[in-house]
A = this chain, B = another copy of it.
């Protein structure tokens, strides 16, 4: 494919299946999406992960001699290990040598590195992690933020999440007028905990967003909302629960469907249909979560990511770059701060 010019820096050392699956996903993305991938990490290990038929002239490796382990305290490790791959990735973005950063490594370290190296956008108190969930309406995903960056939030943080989420939904997901919901435990305005009640008032009077009101747990996947805001504690519990539920349902199907003779024949006949169901529920299709509010495009992938997830994460980063997410968020959040 002809290069479309986006330069994506990826931490080749981060993730349970690094560097092999990271490299495989990156090479596929470079070939099929036309992006230019910068593989960041230990050159020898990255080279060993390349298929033998690779044209080395097509592969750009950026050396980083250190890595941050999963059990390290992220902030101090990011500060101490200046040549860690995640730091080098962020530096490439900061210096304008890459348009976006991707990591499937320690997510806390990726956030810390993004904050320290790229800084926050003006008007943003706290960056948020936004995850795209499929809904009951096949073509209508919902962006949920924050799913883990900020465990204790103030109403104005959630307001900033709502504004950033609306911009992303509009320009990247293509929603004409994104409907924003506040994750809550009842439909009425007065419902919720202290944070939710105060945030509701704030979102109601914000003219930059189209606030539809409270979204209950049952509304999350209904397709009624395009953006749902919540604190990072609730959002993270929900994200991890949702990911696990998909796997559990598939296991129940595997256990119960083939039971008995009719079951065995029926299941054999249904094999292609079951595969399609698995795809509809598979979170690998979404590739990663966005870190919104830092001064750069960053995609945080699942630690368990294999090549297809990495490919999708790169596509996500490419779309954010192509649709100028940063440039569009910037004026919106700046005006928020000055109000």
A residues in contact (CB < 8 Å) with B: 136, 148, 151-152, 183, 185, 192-194, 196, 216-222, 230-234, 236-245, 248-249, 251-253, 256-257, 259-260, 262-263, 265-270, 272-274, 276-277, 280-281
Name A217's contact: one of B240, B248, B276 (CB within 8 Å).
B240
Interface pair B233/A217, CB less than 8 Å apart: no
Chain B residues within 8 Å of A240, by CB:
185, 216-218
Give the residue name and chain of the B residue nearest to A152 (CB): B193
Interface pair A236/B277, CB less than 8 Å apart: no
Chain B residues within 8 Å of A242, by CB:
217, 241, 245
18 contacts between A and B (CB under 8 A): A148-B185, A216-B236, A217-B240, A217-B244, A218-B240, A218-B241, A218-B244, A234-B237, A238-B241, A245-B245, A253-B277, A256-B273, A259-B276, A260-B273, A262-B272, A266-B270, A267-B270, A270-B270
Q: How far is the CB of A312 from chain B (nearest CB, A)?
A: 20
Interface pair B269/A265, CB less than 8 Å apart: yes
Cα-based distance from A256 to B136 in the complex (angstroms): 12
Q: How far is the CB of A134 from chain B (nearest CB, A)?
A: 9
Cα-based distance from A216 to B152 in the complex (angstroms): 17
Interface pair B136/A251, CB less than 8 Å apart: yes
Q: How far is the CB of A154 from chain B (nearest CB, A)?
A: 13
Interface pair B263/A273, CB less than 8 Å apart: yes
Cα-based distance from A232 to B281 in the complex (angstroms): 28
Chain B residues within 8 Å of A256, by CB:
273, 276-277, 280
Chain B residues within 8 Å of A272, by CB:
260, 262-263
Cα-based distance from A219 to B245 in the complex (angstroms): 10
Cα-based distance from A231 to B233 in the complex (angstroms): 11
Q: How far is the CB of A87 from chain B (nearest CB, A)?
A: 23
Once A148-B185, A249-B249, A259-B273 are accepted as A-B contacts, the answer to whether A217 and B193 lie under 8 Å apart by CB is no
Cα-based distance from A185 to B152 in the complex (angstroms): 12
Give the residue name and chain of the B residue nearest to A244 (CB): B218
Chain B residues within 8 Å of A220, by CB:
241, 244
Name A269's contact: one of B196, B237, B263 (CB within 8 Å).
B263
Cα-based distance from A260 to B275 in the complex (angstroms): 14
Cα-based distance from A216 to B237 in the complex (angstroms): 6
- What are the nearest 4 A-B pairs in CB distance? A217-B240, A266-B269, A217-B241, A218-B244
Give the residue name and chain of the B residue nearest to A233 (CB): B193
Interface pair A270/B281, CB less than 8 Å apart: no
Q: How far is the CB of A15 from chain B (nearest CB, A)?
A: 17
Q: How far is the CB of A268 from chain B (nearest CB, A)?
A: 8
Interface pair A233/B265, CB less than 8 Å apart: no
Name A262's contact: one of B196, B238, B270 (CB within 8 Å).
B270
Q: How far is the CB of A237 from chain B (nearest CB, A)?
A: 4
Interface pair A221/B244, CB less than 8 Å apart: yes
